[in-house]
Amino acid sequence: MTTTEQFLSAELSHAIKALYAQSAPDAALILQATRKEIEGDYTAMMFPLLKISKKSPEQTGEEVGRQLQAQCPEIASYNIIKGFLNIKLSAGYWQNRLTDIARTEHYGRHSPSGKTIVIEYSSPNTNKPLHLGHIRNNLLGWSVARLLEANGHRVIKVNLVNDRGIHICKSMLAWQKWGQGATPTSSGRKGDHLVGDYYVLFDREYKRQQSDLQAQGKSAKEAARQAPLILEAQEMLRRWERGDKEITALWQTMNTWVYAGFNETYRTLGVQFDKIYYESNTYLSGKKIIEEGLRKGILDRHEDGSVWIDLTDDGLDRKLLLRSDGTSVYMTQDLGTAQQRYEEYHFDEHIYVVGNEQDYHFQALKLALEKLGYPWATTIYHLSYGMVELPAGKMKSREGTVVDADDLMKEMIHTARETSQKLSKLDDMPADEQQRLFTTIGLGALKYFILKIDPKKTMLFDPKESIDFNGHTGPFIQYTHARIKSVLRKAAQQQLPVGLTGATLNEKEIEIIKILHHFPKKIRDAGDAHSPALIANYTYDLAKEFNQYYHETSVLHEPDDALKTQRLLLLQHVAGTLKTAMEILGIDVPERM
């Protein structure tokens, strides 16, 4: 389907050649949507054309506008403001765009690109349950994957579980010391929550030991290094990497508890993965890459046995790849995982959805892979996102001050129930259907509130604000969809026809068609920017414009049958576009609210 920008660029090029007997370079044909306070649909900049016209911006705009209107019946009018030519397209042009939309299957989605993209998100540690920060990560990863699929790419959704390291050993050691054999079954605790309890307990006892050592005259750094509990945890990690049977068995048992808990959370949140990787496997691949780098002289081994890569020539510093005791660091397994994924998928792009506190890490990872001789390293993209904060401040897992993901989702569903029961008439809806609706609204509110914010920005999450049925929220868009479906159900019951009739469009209908017409480009732009926020805000704009239109315009009671038939078609495509856009965000839209 030809876009309006392509159509106007071609007409603009033709007009310039007709006026000045020479062609304008593509770079000189600059078009953008006209600002809302100015009459027009698209604005063309005249300044890049002055070398060709040899006239002032205003004179050039007048000549080009007059020529465009003469040669192109789709251009209804134009005006010039300080060298900017504002073009208004005819109602007939927008009627044809409605025809295009109605005849396009899977409107908005793009054809297969042949491009393969791997996207990693979630990446939890097995020492604690998922929290609000993980929710933003998962929702971003899932929706970006959906967005890239809508752009025609083959997308592989992966998860790297951080199932090894000192943080894991902290939970294991605390359970050994104070767990008294507790299991999820015996304690009645979800597995990931149970293991997280011991991570918090370790931190509490570790801090107590540090305070005791400082009271004995040790410095804060000495106390942190010499506390018996951290020394035991470090020894446990060494034993794990040596394959100690007792430690390995405990590690497997506690991880099993955590995985069951994670899977329950993922199901509720509505996210999935095509493949799950485990650091306990991938760090071995990383060690092999490091050994090869040492043989080639790319890496340095220090006297203490640690291995480093020098990135100072690239504006970074020296990066640790392997500790002196031979144990791995995050970079070790990331090297191995990246190579493994390329061998499996031969990706064109690899996206890591990880918070902005890891910006340096991914710069170093990309450079390290390039220096180690992997040409595909240039395709790595770090989707860096800001943290989620609450009115009370930042969250800290080891101190037990996080907002638990499971608790938050339950609270959102509970709030949705209370709000819906106050605003809606659901008495005739079966109880199980009501519960599904409350879940849809509550999770939709949570997802939309998080995804409407640009990923790079730190955000403040306000649960109450997120579920307002009249604000810039998911429930407002869901309600708009349900309202349209209600009208369409009534039309079907009355056996009213739905279709194109060529009936005259009013200004509000033209505005809606303009927004619908931009949907494929919005999907393209959002995919290029890796930003679901562009889709979220587009969807709100469409829902807001429709509600204004519906408030002012009769549909079912319109006496003109041609108008009624075409308006029902317009409603049908607004509902379809809302549904498609919200699906990209991972949000369900109900048929009734």
Q: What CATH number is associated with residue 452?
A: 1.10.730.10
**Domain-terminating residue out of 357, 389, 421:** 389
Q: Are residues 385 and 409 in the same domain?
A: no
Q: Tell me which DSSP letter residue 498 carries.
A: -
C-beta separation of 522 from 534 below 8 A: yes
Rounded to an integer, what distance in angstroms lies between the CA atom of residue 392 and that of residue 404? 15
Predicted confidence (pLDDT) per residue in 428-487, tens digit? 889 899 999 999 999 999 999 999 999 999 988 887 788 888 899 999 999 999 999 999
Q: Are residues 385 and 414 in the same domain?
A: no
Predicted confidence (pLDDT) per residue in 182-240, tens digit? 999 999 999 999 999 999 999 999 999 999 999 999 999 999 999 999 999 999 999 99
C-beta separation of 236 from 169 below 8 A: yes
Mean pLDDT of 308-315: 95
Q: Are residues 361 and 506 in the same domain?
A: no
Rounded to an integer, what distance in angstroms lies between the CA atom of residue 564 and that of residue 494? 12
C-beta separation of 97 from 513 below 8 A: yes
Rounded to an integer, what distance in angstroms lies between the CA atom of residue 27 and that of residue 9? 11
In a domain, 105, yes or no: no
Q: Are residues 65 and 214 in the same domain?
A: no
- Predicted pLDDT at 43: 97
In a domain, 38, yes or no: yes
The residue to which tokens 């414009």 are assigned? 545
For residue 309, give the CATH number of its domain.
Answer: 3.40.50.620
pLDDT for 572 beyond 80: yes
Mean pLDDT of 255-266: 97
- 258-289 burial code (b ≥16 CB/10 A, e <16): bbebbeebbeebebebeeebbbbebbebbbeb
Q: Tell me which DSSP letter residue 500 carries.
A: -
Least confident range from 127-131, 391-395, 491-495, 567-571: namely 391-395
pLDDT above 70 as % of the chain? 97
In a domain, 41, yes or no: yes
- Predicted pLDDT at 98: 97
In a domain, 292, yes or no: yes
Mean pLDDT of 40-52: 96
Predicted confidence (pLDDT) per residue in 379-403, tens digit? 999 999 998 877 654 444 444 457 8
Tokens matching residue 336 = 């191995």
For residue 77, give the CATH number of its domain.
Answer: 3.30.1360.70
**Domain-terminating residue out of 39, 74, 89:** 89
DSSP string of 18-86? HHHSSPPPGGG--EEEPPTTSS-SEEEE-GGGHHHH-S-HHHHHHHHHHHHHHH-TTEEEEEEETTEEE
For residue 381, the surrounding DSSP H or E stretch is: strand 380-385
The residue to which tokens 């995982």 are assigned? 337
Mean pLDDT of 554-565: 97
C-beta separation of 30 from 48 below 8 A: yes
C-beta separation of 552 from 483 below 8 A: no
Mean pLDDT of 502-531: 96
Pick the closest to residue 489 from 575, 561, 428, 431 (CA basis): 575
- Number of domains, the chain: 3
- Predicted pLDDT at 399: 46
Rounded to an integer, what distance in angstroms lies between the CA atom of residue 208 and that of residue 203? 9
- Predicted pLDDT at 396: 47
- Predicted pLDDT at 424: 67
Q: Are residues 276 and 307 in the same domain?
A: yes
pLDDT for 427 beyond 80: no
CA distances from 257 to 107, 167, 191, 286 (A): 43, 16, 4, 27
Q: Are residues 419 and 305 in the same domain?
A: no
- Predicted pLDDT at 6: 93
Q: Are residues 333 and 361 in the same domain?
A: yes
Rounded to an integer, what distance in angstroms lies between the CA atom of residue 4 and that of residue 100? 12
Q: How many residues does the chain have?
A: 593
- Rounded to the nearest 10 degrees, the angle between the axes of helix 228-241 and helix 191-215 is 130
Least confident range from 236-250, 414-428, 537-551: namely 414-428
Q: Are residues 434 and 362 in the same domain?
A: no
In a domain, 475, yes or no: yes
Predicted confidence (pLDDT) per residue in 17-31, tens digit? 999 999 999 999 999
pLDDT for 423 beyond 90: no
Q: What share of the chain is helix, strand, coil (3-state, %, to 5)?
A: 60, 10, 30
Q: Are residues 359 and 427 in the same domain?
A: no
In a domain, 382, yes or no: yes
The boundaries of the domain holding residue 462 are 405-584
Rounded to an integer, what distance in angstroms lies between the CA atom of residue 593 and that of residue 426? 8
Predicted confidence (pLDDT) per residue in 88-120, tens digit? 999 999 999 999 999 999 999 999 999 999 999
**Domain-terminating residue out of 39, 71, 89:** 89
In 156-217, alpha helices (H): 166-178, 184-187, 191-215
pLDDT above 90 as % of the chain? 87
Q: Are residues 384 and 412 in the same domain?
A: no
321: helix, strand or coil: strand
The HSE-up count of residue 528 (CA atoms within 13 Å, CB side) is 6
In a domain, 102, yes or no: no
- Predicted pLDDT at 394: 47
- Predicted pLDDT at 392: 58
374: helix, strand or coil: coil
What φ, ψ does residue 429 adopt, rounded to 5°?
-90, 130
Q: Are residues 474 and 545 in the same domain?
A: yes
In a domain, 394, yes or no: no
* Arithmetic mean of pLDDT over the chain: 94
pLDDT band at 2 (very low <50, low <70, confident <90, very high): confident
DSSP string of 421-481? HHH---TTS-HHHHHHHHHHHHHHHHHHHHHTS-TTS-EE--HHHHT-TTSSSHHHHHHHH
Q: Are residues 561 and 435 in the same domain?
A: yes
Rounded to an integer, what distance in angstroms lies between the CA atom of residue 122 and that of residue 127? 14
